Chains A and B, each alone.
Chain A
């Protein structure tokens, strides 16, 4: 077993013992269960879950990720005085948080559907897309959190930056895009709108999810363009590639910084 895998197993033990991840899974479990108990239809339950995934999941991943790396400093120093290479340690730490967070999310959202069942096959497909985008967002935002935590020495500052990043990507970006689309409403905006969507992982996830619930009609002509683009195999490929870029870039710069950092 290589060093990354070993560190991953120790981190898993440590993360599970800190109970934060368990609370996170239980939160999703209770939320989904409550929605299924009291919600009118499976479609509306899925729609509510989407909003939570798009807003809350990036926030939790960012805050958890930054705090976790700051708190792991002693562990990092201890392991770096052992014959362990920095990239292996970084990989172990990253997977040690991202994997349990993603698992917690998946277990919390999917388990209640197991005993409640889904009404239609299309709902099962929506649930699958929800699970996949949620997992992708978890890995992306933990990577961003790690980049922030290795970049900023000060814990309070790092946490502040993480919150600003969340606010921008999950809340402000949409408003700015809408404002831009409104201002340039007289021009053909389909391509710029597509590009702007690709530039934000939360928006990308939102579009992928909304296309599942047939409310893209509400988005007007742009929605139709989106549906045609993201509905095609090519579009799904581009969207997946964009999400991968969103994962790879922060990880690359985070690791580069981690390799050069003084402890």
Chain B
């Protein structure tokens, strides 16, 4: 087993507005090393904005983020320890997969330790020779997953990772998540597939209108809502909010 140094992310009083829209309204959360946190919430509840704030793609209006005890600043070095798989995989259209991977490796200073397991598991070798614009949506998702794990990050963010993947690929990715978690990697993922959440997540965070409505284990969630199924428990939270 490769020892992986772990980093905990903590978010403190995070606010973000897009014009009149108050997307995140005071988010406080911590991510324990080696845990899988699932962020749930309906469309537009602020999940992706929260993820993009962690990555520094979105600049918060208020609040602080600490990665491994260090406050996030304009310095981008912390992102070397983060892997990210966006919701929709979009790449420079004219590059081939091989060129894209070479470029990312080069930009990171060609680190020796690479995790290319998913390349083989997804059988991507032939696809990488083609320009990225010619690849199907699912294949792009696979490339995106390879990139997220490639640099052996200690913190991996997956925004709806299995949406668009076929069942086999989806299984491969989930097994990979489970394996890496065992080795101590911290995960944050969003998903609308509750079976997946139940299988992978140690902790569920339910976002509603930019605030944390619930945070805890699936068992806690079922207990507090009184529903033995996760789907009903989540539906309960949503309807409760609407009422």
Contact = CB atoms under 8 A, between A and B. Distances in A.
B57 A77 contact: yes
Contacts of B92: 14, 72, 74-75, 78
B77 interface: yes
Interface residues of B, number: 29
A18 B93 CA distance: 10
B108 A80 contact: no
Given A81-B79, A263-B52, 7 more contacts: A77-B86, A78-B90, A78-B92, A80-B56, A80-B57, A81-B57, A82-B79
B114 interface: no
A82 B59 contact: no
Contacts of B93: 74
Interface residues of A, number: 26
Interface in A68-122: 72, 74-75, 77-86
A14 B84 CA distance: 23
Contacts of B79: 81-84
Interface of B: 18, 52, 55-59, 74-80, 82, 84, 86, 90-95, 99, 103-104, 106-108
A259 interface: yes
A6 interface: yes
Contacts of A260: 59
Contacts of B86: 77, 81
B94 A82 contact: no
A85 B104 contact: no
Contact of B76 (A78, A83, A261, A263): A83
Contacts of B78: 83
A152 interface: no
B108 A78 contact: no
A260 B57 CA distance: 9
A146 to B, nearest CB: 18
17 contacts: A6-B107, A75-B91, A77-B57, A78-B92, A80-B56, A81-B79, A81-B86, A82-B108, A83-B77, A84-B76, A85-B74, A86-B76, A261-B59, A262-B58, A263-B52, A263-B57, A263-B58
A10 B80 CA distance: 20
Contact of B75 (A6, A10, A85, A263): A85
A84 B55 contact: no
A14 B94 contact: yes
A84 B106 CA distance: 12
Interface in A150-187: none
A86 B94 CA distance: 23
Contacts of B18: 262
A17 B56 CA distance: 30
A82 B104 contact: yes
A26 B84 CA distance: 41
A75 B95 CA distance: 11
Nearest to B100: A78
Nearest to B132: A74
Given A260-B59, A262-B58, A83 B108 contact: yes
A13 B100 CA distance: 12
The 5 closest A-B pairs by CB, nearest first: A74-B90, A83-B80, A83-B79, A263-B57, A262-B58
